[in-house]
Amino acid sequence: GESVGLHLPTLSVQEGDNSIINCAYSNSASDYFIWYKQESGKGPQFIIDIRSNMDKRQGQRVTVLLNKTVKHLSLQIAATQPGDSAVYFCAETAANQAGTALIFGKGTTLSVSS
């Protein structure tokens, strides 16, 4: 069958291209999803989030798509810039439950060349 969007550990793009980073999440009970950007020597930085009652959300240059049927999340970055180079993680949680934790997916290292 056709692949929904495989996770790639690394992604190399040219400046100005659009980037798509994919993530598969694990828990059907998760209702809140976040994309983080992590630069070397720093903690994860919030990029965009989406709740399970939505399938698309847009921010500045970024769009998150959620496909609950196949438990798949993607991050689209428009007009990628060298400053976007970092490791990107998706994370899932049950947002309304106290004491629950973020579960992070496998990261994707984005390299942007100018």
Partner 1 sequence: DAGVTQSPTHLIKTRGQHVTLRCSPISGHKSVSWYQQVLGQGPQFIFQYYEKEERGRGNFPDRFSARQFPNYSSELNVNALLLGDSALYLCASSQGASGGYGYTFGSGTRLTVV
Q: Which of 46, 55, 81, 111 binds partner 1 (CB under 8 A)?
A: 46
Phi first, then psi: what are they for 109, rounded to 5°?
-90, 115
CA 94, 98, 100, 105 dihedral sign is: positive
44 touching partner 1, by CB under 8 A? yes
Whole-number minimum distance, CB 13 to partner 1, in Å? 21
34 touching partner 1, by CB under 8 A? yes
Q: Which is nearer to partner 1, 42 or 69 (CB)?
A: 42
| Residue from 89, 106, 95, 104 nearest 35 by CA | 89
| CA 27, chain centre distance (Å) | 16
What string marks each residue from 95 to 114 as x (binds partner 1 by CB under 8 A) or -? xxxxxxxxxxxxx-------
Whole-number minimum distance, CB 104 to partner 1, in Å? 3
What string marks each residue from 47 to 86 as x (binds partner 1 by CB under 8 A) or -? ----------------------------------------
Length of the chain: 114
Please check whether residue 7 is in contact with residue 89, taking contact to mean a CB–CB distance below 8 angstroms: no
94 touching partner 1, by CB under 8 A? yes
Please count the CA atoms within 13 angstroms of the CA of 35 that sit on its side-chain side. Answer: 26
